[in-house]
């Protein structure tokens, strides 16, 4: 199955941008941020790596989906590509790239697009990918490609979205794998949504 078709299957055919926990019910939302300023990113990378080691326990590679907003000017992506390279992330030749128009909120808004790149990387890139995701809100930090990062394990049917230094969503079609993550990392689940997760996973 083509990779792009697979991720649509994983998300039940729904477009996923941000807030996966709310858009794809039945998942988990983890609290990552602690401390102040840049230390938040370092803590988020540490905790995110521990959770993702379980998400990708049976995998040697990660299916990476990057999303970024841009105008029709193709040179907009130069900054993002340079920052990814600084993080040690090179987009391989075996990849799928496509663009989707972003609905205009106002008729006078400039045309903009959501650019997507889908490719596989070795699991050794996990920490660098998490850094790129968690550093998004800190403009002065580098490397910082300012794009959404989705990490997918096709074998287990799970997708992790480290949306910024505050948290990370894990969703997917494998209810038992999600239940194991719920039990193993219960202390890190976001308290605000804990009742929802308890109703989903506390009972067998």
CA 132 – CA 127 distance, rounded (Å)? 9
Please, how many CA atoms are within 13 Å of residue 119, restricted to the half-sphere of its CB? 18
Domain count within the chain = 1
DSSP string, 126-151: HHHHHHHHHTTT-TTSSS----EEEE
Residue 39 lies in a domain: yes
CA 164 – CA 132 distance, rounded (Å)? 9
Residue 22 lies in a domain: yes
Residue 190: its pLDDT value, please? 95
Residue 109 lies in a domain: no
Residue 175 lies in a domain: yes
Residue 104: its pLDDT value, please? 62
Residue 53 lies in a domain: yes
End-to-end CA separation in angstroms for the chain: 32
Residue 128 lies in a domain: yes
Range of the domain at 184: 3-68+119-198
Residue 105 lies in a domain: no
Q: Tens-digit pLDDT profile for the chain (204 aa)?
A: 455 666 666 655 555 667 789 988 899 999 997 766 778 899 999 999 999 999 999 999 999 999 888 766 666 678 888 999 999 999 999 998 888 777 666 666 666 778 888 999 999 999 999 999 999 888 788 998 989 999 999 899 999 999 988 899 999 989 999 999 999 999 999 999 999 999 999 876
Residue 186 lies in a domain: yes
């Amino acid at each position: 199955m083509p990779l792009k078709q697979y991720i649509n299957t994983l998300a039940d055919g729904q477009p996923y941008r941000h807030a996966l926990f709310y858009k794809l019910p039945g998942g988990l939302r983890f609290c990552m941020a602690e401390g102040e300023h840049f230390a938040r990113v370092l803590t988020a990378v540490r905790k995110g790596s521990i959770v993702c080691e379980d998400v990708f326990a049976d995998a040697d590679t990660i299916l990476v989906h990057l999303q970024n907003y841009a105008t029709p000017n193709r040179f907009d992506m130069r900054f993002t590509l340079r920052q990814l390279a600084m993080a040690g992330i090179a987009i391989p030749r075996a990849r799928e790239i496509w663009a989707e128009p972003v609905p205009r909120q106002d008729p006078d808004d400039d045309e903009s697009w959501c650019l997507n790149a889908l490719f596989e990387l070795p699991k050794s890139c996990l920490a660098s990918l998490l850094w790129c995701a968690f550093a998004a809100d800190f403009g002065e930090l580098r490397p910082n490609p300012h794009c959404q990062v989705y990490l997918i394990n096709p074998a287990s049917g799970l997708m992790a979205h480290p949306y910024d230094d505050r948290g990370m969503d894990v969703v997917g079609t494998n209810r038992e794998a999600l239940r194991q993550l719920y039990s193993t990392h219960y202390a890190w689940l976001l308290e605000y949504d804990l009742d929802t997760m308890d109703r989903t996973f506390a009972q067998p």
